[in-house]
Structure 1
Amino acid sequence: MLEELLIFTRGGLILWSSCRALGGAALLKGSPIDALIRSCLLEERSGDAGFTKDAYALKWAFNNDLGLVFVAVYQRMLHLLYVDDLLAAVRKEFSQIYNPKRVSYDDLFTETFRQLHLEAEARAEAMNKSKQQPTNPSSGSGAGRGPAGKKLGPNARAGGGAAGKKNSGSGKDDSDGDSGKEHNGGFTANGTVAKGGQENGAVKDSSRAARAVVVDNDGKENGDPNDGAFDVNTLRKKTGGKKGGGGGKKNDVKKAAKTEPKKVVKQMRVWDDKPPKNEKLDFTDPADERGEEVIEKVLTNQGDSMMDKDEDLSSDSEDEEDEEEENAGAGQKKKGWFSSMFKSIAGNNVLEKSDLQPALKALKDRLMTKNVAEEIAEKLCESVAASLEGKKLGSFTRISSTVQTAMEEALLRILTPRRSIDILRDVQAAKERGKPYVVVFVGVNGVGKSTNLAKVAYWLLQHNLSVMMAACDTFRSGAVEQLRTHARRLEIPIFEKGYEKDPAVVAKEAIQEATRNKSDVILVDTAGRMQDNEPLMRALSKLINLNKPDLVLFVGEALVGNDAVDQLNKFNQKLADLSTVPTARLIDGILLTKFDTIDDKVGAALSMVYISGSPVMFVGCGQSYTDLKKLNVKSIVKTLLK
C-alpha cells in the first residue's frame, strides 16, 4: 500500500499531497521525507535508486525544467512494483497542469491521481499474474528443439543450422538452417572461436585462443599473419639469425661494457673558506638545559594560529589561471562553433542522459586524478546527471559548461557544513553549565593525532581558554612521553596513568580531574587503530559511550584516496554496531593532516565529507603549532575542477 505521494518544489513549497488531498491524515513516523531531503537530495545523492528510513522506503523523480520533486513513500517490506511507473505517470500529468503562480492543486489533481494509481496497480497485478502462470511443460525451454517443438538432429546444436553452422556474415545464429555457412577461423559476435560442428562458447585450445591464432580443421593457419599471431621468422630476423640470434647480442653487450665511461664521484661542496666548527646539531626540546625561557619563547614567538586568518583568494596567479581558462574555453568554442551554435539556435534542446555522458566522463576522470575515490566520483556524476536530465539547454550554451556549473554547485553543497560547529561558542556554553568541553581525537595509525592535538590546544590557548590534555593512548610505546613533551612546551596540565590501562577509565578520571580544576577544555588523545582491528575498535566505542564527549574528531591524512572511504565507513559502522545506546555516537568532524604535501590532490577532503556527512573543521599544514587552519571550500572546489 502506498503511504503517501508528495509533490513539492526545489524551494520546499508543497504543492500536492495524497494524504491531504484524499482526506486522510499523514501517519508517517520519523519524518522520512525530511530525512530524504537532508541525507540524499541536499547531499548530492539524488542519483541513487532509492532511500530507506526506519520502516519506510522512498523513491523519487524530478522535473528539472520546472524544478519539481515527486516523492513516493511506502512500507519497505511490501516491495511495490508499480511505484516507478506511477511516479513517471504522475510527473507527466502534473507537469502539464503546473502553473508557477498556483500554490495548491488539491482540487485539480486529486481525481487524476486516483485514476493513475488504479491503472498502475492494475498493470502491476496483471504483470504479476502473467509471471505466476505455469509454463507448458511440453514446450520446454526451447533448447535443442526446432520451431515446431521437434528435437533437432545430432549435428544441429546451438547454432540452429543444418549442421550447427554459423552465418558468416554477422556471427548470428541461422535458425532456419538453409543459409548457414561454415565459419572456420573467425570469432563470433560474443567473442568465442567458431569451428565447424562445435558448440559456440567452447574454446578447447586455450593457448591458441590466447594467442589469437585461428586454426582450421586441417591444422593450417588462416587469415592475415599480422592479425595478432606470433611470427617466429620475424623474431629471428630481429635477433640477427635463423636459429641462434643471441650470439651477436652477447658481443654487443661486451662492446657496450668496454665503452661505458667511468662514474664520476660527486665531490663535497665547500661553501666557505673555513668550514664551521663542529656545532651541536640537536633539535630536541632544550627545556632540560634552559628551563622556562624556552617555553616562554614557544608561547610568545610562534605567532598567531592560522585558524584565525582568512585566506585571500584574489591573487594574481589565480587571475592568470582564470584568464587561461577563459582563453581555453574560447578556443573550444571556436573549435566546435557550428555544432554548439546550431544546437542552441535550432531550439532549446531538452538534455538527455546520453548528451551528458561525455562531459560527465571527463569530469569523473578529472576528479579521480585529484585523488577523489572512484565510487564517490561515480555517485557525484550520477547525481549531476539526475539534476540536469530533462532541462532545456539555454541559447548559446554548451553542454560541457552546463555540466561544469552543476558539478561546481554540487561540490559547494557537499563541502559546506550542514550544521555549524563553533567550538569557541560551544566551549562557552559548557563553561556556563560548569562542565569542561571534551574533545576526543580518533584515527588510524601514524596520521598525526598527538601533534595536531597540540596545535588545537595552542589555538585554544590564544583565545584565553584553560586547556588540559588526557593521555589515553595506553597502547603505543612513547605515546605518553610525546604528549607530555607537548604539554610541557605549552605549559598546560596533563592527566596520565601510564600504559596497559583501560583508556575509557583513564578518560573518565581525566574529565573528573578537569571538572575539579575548572578547566574549560579537555583534549583526549587515543591510540591509533586500523579500522579492521576489532579489540581496539571495541575499546574506542567503550570510551565514547562511557564518557559522552562533546566532539569526536576523526584525524585523517590528506594523502589517502580510496582508503579514506573505507576508514570512515568502518569507523562509523563499528561505533554504531558496538554502541550500547539506541542512538549511537558517530564521528562529528574531521581534521585533515599533511595538507601541505599534496599539491592539488585534494580529493580526500571531498571523499571524507561525502561518506560521513561531517565537516572538515581543521586542516594541518605544517609542523609548528601555528600550522592549523580552516578548510577553504571555494579554493578546494576550484582545485578539484581545474
Structure 2
Amino acid sequence: MLEQLLIFTRGGLILWTCKELGNALRGSPIDTLIRSCLLEERSGSASYNYDAPGASYTLKWTFHNDLGLVFVAVYQRILHLLYVDDLLSMVKKEFSEIYDPKRTSYNDFDDIFQQLKKEAEARAEEMKKSKQVGKPMNNNLARKLGNVQNGNMDRGNKKKSGGEPGNDRDGDNSKGHPLENGDISNNHIGKGEANMKVKNNGKENGVSNTGAFDVNKLQKLRSKGGKKTETVSNKVSKEEPKKITKKNRVWDDSPKEAKLDFTDPGSENVEQQHMSVVAADQGESMMDKEEIVSSDSESESEEEETSKDNKVDGKKKGGWFSSMFQSIAGKANLENSDLEPALKALKDRLMTKNVAEEIAEKLCESVASSLEGKRLASFTRVSSTVQAAMEDALTRILTPRRSIDILRDVHAAKEQGKPYVVVFVGVNGVGKSTNLAKVAYWLQQHNVNVMMAACDTFRSGAVEQLRTHARRLQIPIFEKGYEKDPAIVAKEAIQEASRNGSDVVLVDTAGRMQDNEPLMRALSKLIYVNSPDLILFVGEALVGNDAVDQLSKFNQKLGDLSPSPDPRLIDGILLTKFDTIDDKVGAALSMVYISGAPVMFVGCGQSYTDLKKLNVKSIVKTLLK
C-alpha cells in the first residue's frame, strides 16, 4: 500500500499531497531525503531507504527540472510495490500540464491521481499474470525431484514403464526456463535435498567414488609430509647456534635509563627557552589567515571548451553550424543524449584528480537528473551548463551541513564547567600525533588551556613522541604508560582536566587499520565511555580511493561495535600531507561525500603553524580545472 505521495517545489513549497491516503508518516522521511540525497547530490540514486524506530520506508522520486518540481512516493519497504515508478511518471506528466507558478492549491488533482493509481496498479497486475502464463511449470523436473503428488506421481511411474512420451517433450521444451513465484524456491530446495541424499547415502544408493578425489589419500600424504618437515626442521635447529636475545627497553622515568632529552643540561628554564624558540620560529597559525583564491580569466578554458564542445556536437548534431545554432537559439529541453558527452568528460577529469570512480559516477548521475528536461538558455552551450551544475554540486557537498566552530563550542563547554574533549582517530602512520600538536598550538594562540592525553598505549614510542610535543609547547600531558586500557586513561585524563581547569583535552589514540576488529572495539569503547564532544578522523590526502574504504569502515565499525543504541560516528575530518598532492585533491571530495562529515583542518607542512581551513572555492576550482 502506498503511504504518501507529495509534490513540492525545489524551494520547499508543498503543492499537493494525497488526502485519501492520509497516512501519518512515522519519523521524518521527507526531511531526511532532502538533507541526505537532494542537498548532497545523491539524487541520481533510484531509491532511498529510511529507517526509524517503528518505521521502515522506501522513498522514490523524480524531477521536473524545467518547472522545478519534485515528486516523491513513500511506501513500506516490505511491500516492494512494482507500480510506483510508472505512477510517478504518469503523475509528473499530468501535473505538469495543469501546473501554474501562481497557484498554491491543487485540490482538483485528487480525482486525477486516483484514476492514475488504478491504471498503474492494473498494469502491474497484468504484467504479473503475463509472466506467470508465459513461463509454465516444469512438471518433468518437479517429478524427478519428488515434488509432484497423487496423479502426477502415477504418471511418473507410467513413464518409467514406457508410457506418456509427451511429458518428455514438455520437459525438454521447458528446460532452462526459471519458475515464477514459489515454484522456483520449491524446486531449488528439492534439488538441494536430492543432492544431499546422493552425497550422504552414496554407498547405499550404489554411487561409486572411483572418479572422485580421495580425501583419505590426501590426509595420509599430508601426515607423511608433516613428519618429514618436522625431522628436517629439528636437524636445522640442532645445527644453528643459539641466538642472543635482545634486552627489552624499559620506558619509565627511572634515573638508570638515559632520557630522550637532548637539551643542554646546564641551561636554566629549559621549558621557557623551548617555548620562546617555538614562538619565534613558528609565528601565527595558518588557521587564522584567510586564503585568497585568484580569479583568473577563464577565456582560455572557455575557448578550449568551445572547441571540444563543437567537436562533440559536430559528431552528434551535424557539425559546427548546428552546435552554434543551438547555442544561439537555445534548445527546447535537454535530453540525456545531450548531456552524456559533457558528463563523461567531467567524470574523467574528476578521476584524474583522485576522486573515486564510484563517487564520480554518482555525481554525474545526480547532475544529469537535475538537468534532464531543463530548457537550455540562449547563447549557452551544453558543456557550460553541465560545468556550472557540477560546480554547484561540488560546492554543496564540500560546504558543511552544520556549523562546527570549535572555539565557540570550547567557550560554551567552559561555561558549563567541563572540558571540551576531542578524540583523534585514524589508520597507522597518517600523522595523528603531529597534527594533534598543530591543533594544540592553534588553540594556545586563542588563550585556550589545552591538555594532551596519551591514549596510544599500543605503539612503542607513542607516549614519548607526544611528551616531546607537550614539552615544546609547554602543555601538560596525562599519561599512564603502555599496555593500559585507553578508555580508562582517557577518562582519568578528563577528570584531571576538570580538576586543574583545562579547557580542552586532546586525546591521542593508536593507529589502527579499519579491518582490525579488536582495536576497533577498543576505540568504540573509548568513545562510548567518555562521550567526546568531537571525533576527528585523520586521513591522508594521498590515498585517493582508499580513503573511501577507510572512512566508511571506521564509521561502520563504530556503529556496529558500540553498545549504545545511538552510536557516535565521525564528526569531522583532518586531512594531512595536503601540500604533497599538487592538484590531486579528490580525496577531500571522496571522504566528505562518503561520510557527510566536513573537512575541518588541512595539514600542509612540518611546523606547528602549517594547519589551515579547507578553501571550498579553491578545491572546486582545482577539481574542474
- Please give the range of the TM-score, normalised by the shorter of the 2 chains: 0.7 to 0.9
Alpha-carbon distance in structure 1 between the residues aligned to 2:528 and 2:601: 24
Say if 1:139 and 1:582 are closer, same or farther in 2 by CA, change over 3 A: closer
Q: Decide whether the 8 Å contact of 1:440 with 1:551 is kept in 2.
A: yes
Matched, 1:93 2:69: no
**Which amino acid in structure 2 is aligned with residue 33 of structure 1?**
I
Match of 1:444 among 402, 406, 427: 427
Q: Size of the alignment, in residue pairs?
A: 500
Counterpart of 1:521 in structure 2 is 504
Match of 1:44 among 41, 46, 63: 41
Secondary structure of residue in 2 paired with 1:57: strand
Q: Spell out, residue by residue over 1:540-571, the C-alpha distance to the aligned partner (whole angstroms, 9 max, x if none).
A: 00000110000000000000111000001100
Q: TM-score, with normalisation over the residues of structure 1?
A: 0.75
Which stretch shifts more, 285-294 or 352-361?
285-294
**Which amino acid in structure 2 is aligned with residue 319 of structure 1?**
D
| Pairing of 1:188-267 with structure 2 (within 5 A) | none
Q: Spell out, residue by residue over 1:197-239, the C-alpha distance to the aligned partner (whole angstroms, 9 max, x if none).
A: xxxxxxxxxxxxxxxxxxxxxxxxxxxxxxxxxxxxxxxxxxx
Alpha-carbon distance in structure 1 between the residues aligned to 2:308 and 2:586: 27
Counterpart of 1:599 in structure 2 is 582
Say if 1:80 and 1:458 are closer, same or farther in 2 by CA, change over 3 A: same
Alpha-carbon distance in structure 2 between the residues aligned to 1:531 and 1:360: 33
Matched, 1:326 2:302: yes
Cα drift, residue 355 of structure 1: 1.7
Which stretch shifts more, 387-396 or 329-338?
329-338
Counterpart of 2:75 in structure 1 is 74
Cα drift, residue 109 of structure 1: 0.7
Alpha-carbon distance in structure 2 between the residues aligned to 1:585 and 1:287: 46
| Pairing of 1:136-147 with structure 2 (within 5 A) | none
Q: Spell out, residue by residue over 1:308-327, the C-alpha distance to the aligned partner (whole angstroms, 9 max, x if none).
A: 0101113xxx526x343234
Alpha-carbon distance in structure 2 between the residues aligned to 1:7 and 1:289: 78
Matched, 1:470 2:453: yes
Alpha-carbon distance in structure 2 between the residues aligned to 1:444 and 1:289: 41
Say if 1:288 and 1:440 are closer, same or farther in 2 by CA, change over 3 A: farther
Cα drift, residue 58 of structure 1: 0.4
Cα drift, residue 341 of structure 1: 1.9
Alpha-carbon distance in structure 2 between the residues aligned to 1:477 and 1:83: 59
Alpha-carbon distance in structure 1 between the residues aligned to 2:355 and 2:411: 37
Counterpart of 1:191 in structure 2 is none
Cα drift, residue 343 of structure 1: 2.5
Alpha-carbon distance in structure 2 between the residues aligned to 1:487 and 1:458: 10
Alpha-carbon distance in structure 2 between the residues aligned to 1:559 and 1:119: 54
Q: Spell out, residue by residue over 1:251-289, the C-alpha distance to the aligned partner (whole angstroms, 9 max, x if none).
A: xxxxxxxxxxxxxxxxxxxxxxxxxxxxxxxx9964756
Q: Spell out, residue by residue over 1:348-386, the C-alpha distance to the aligned partner (whole angstroms, 9 max, x if none).
A: 231111221111111111001000011111110111111
Match of 1:28 among 25, 47, 58: 25
| Pairing of 1:3-402 with structure 2 (within 5 A) | 3-18=3-18, 21-22=19-20, 25-54=22-51, 55-105=56-106, 107-133=107-133, 135=135, 286=263, 290=267, 291=270, 292-314=272-294, 319=296, 322-329=298-305, 331-332=307-308, 337-344=320-327, 348-402=331-385
Q: Decide whether the 8 Å contact of 1:470 with 1:495 is kept in 2.
A: yes
Cα drift, residue 132 of structure 1: 3.0
Alpha-carbon distance in structure 2 between the residues aligned to 1:284 and 1:308: 32
Name which structure has the greater RCO, CA cutoff 8 Å, separation 6+. Answer: 2
Counterpart of 1:611 in structure 2 is 594
Counterpart of 2:409 in structure 1 is 426
Secondary structure of residue in 1 paired with 2:60: strand
Alpha-carbon distance in structure 1 between the residues aligned to 2:395 and 2:579: 22
Say if 1:553 and 1:150 are closer, same or farther in 2 by CA, change over 3 A: closer
Q: As a proportion of its length, which structure holds more helix?
A: 2
Alpha-carbon distance in structure 2 between the residues aligned to 1:356 and 1:598: 31
Counterpart of 2:2 in structure 1 is 2
Say if 1:101 and 1:295 are closer, same or farther in 2 by CA, change over 3 A: same
Alpha-carbon distance in structure 1 between the residues aligned to 2:364 and 2:323: 22
Instruction: Name structure 2 gaps, 5 residues minimum.
Output: 142-166, 170-175, 177-259, 315-319
Which stretch shifts more, 294-303 or 545-554?
294-303
Alpha-carbon distance in structure 2 between the residues aligned to 1:579 and 1:430: 25
**Which amino acid in structure 2 is aligned with residue 34 of structure 1?**
D
Secondary structure of residue in 1 paired with 2:296: helix
Which stretch shifts more, 441-450 or 393-402?
393-402
Secondary structure of residue in 2 paired with 1:133: helix
Alpha-carbon distance in structure 2 between the residues aligned to 1:359 and 1:605: 23
Cα drift, residue 297 of structure 1: 1.8
Match of 1:492 among 471, 475, 490: 475
Counterpart of 1:268 in structure 2 is none
Cα drift, residue 300 of structure 1: 4.4
Say if 1:288 and 1:461 are closer, same or farther in 2 by CA, change over 3 A: farther
Alpha-carbon distance in structure 2 between the residues aligned to 1:558 and 1:386: 30
Alpha-carbon distance in structure 2 between the residues aligned to 1:536 and 1:136: 55
Say if 1:522 and 1:293 are closer, same or farther in 2 by CA, change over 3 A: same
Cα drift, residue 140 of structure 1: 10
Q: Decide whether the 8 Å contact of 1:340 with 1:396 is kept in 2.
A: no
Q: Decide whether the 8 Å contact of 1:287 with 1:294 is kept in 2.
A: no
Secondary structure of residue in 2 paired with 1:348: coil
Say if 1:287 and 1:376 are closer, same or farther in 2 by CA, change over 3 A: farther
